[in-house]
Amino acid sequence: MKEKREFPRVQHIGSCILSREGATDLETWQTKILDITAQGASIECPDTWPGLPDDNVRMTLTQEGGDIELKLSGMIVHQRLGVLGIKFLTVSVDNLAHLQRIIELDIANKIKTNESINV
């Protein structure tokens, strides 16, 4: 069954530094972005992830082969099968413009190569 998604998703675009406030300090993990939209992202769940749904997190996303870092805040909306689903809470105008450009380039590339677009 095909998933119905409201926003186009870009897959395998880079890495992520995920952080959350722990009991005593700021905890951070290096992980991979699985896919991203203008509204949220799916990332690999770090092996030692102690978080729960509704935890607030901060992410620094780095695009593969790029020098742009996006700093975003979000909330864990689901955790299953080694994947964390994150909904962005606040996105600056600059970060939103970068996200939209990444998505536009991915869609253009898929049209050019006749790949299916995940929406």
Average pLDDT over every residue of 51-63: 86
Buried b / exposed e along 47-60 (16+ C-beta atoms within 10 A): eebebeeebebbbe
Evaluate whether 28 touches 18 at the Cβ level (below 8 Å).
yes
Fold of 10-112: Thrombin, subunit H (2.40.10)
Segment 6-55, tens digit of pLDDT: 555 666 567 889 998 766 778 899 999 888 888 889 999 998 888 788 88
Query: What is the distance between the alpha carbons of residues 10 and 13, in angstroms, rounded to a whole number?
Result: 7
Q: Which residue has the tokens 């675009």?
A: 13
Evaluate whether 33 touches 14 at the Cβ level (below 8 Å).
yes
Task: Give residue limits of the domains in the chain.
Answer: 10-112
Segment 87-101, tens digit of pLDDT: 999 888 888 888 888
Q: Which residues, listed in sequence order, are joined to residue 8 by a DSSP beta bridge? A: none
Query: What is the distance between the alpha carbons of residues 70 and 93, in angstroms, rounded to a whole number?
Result: 11
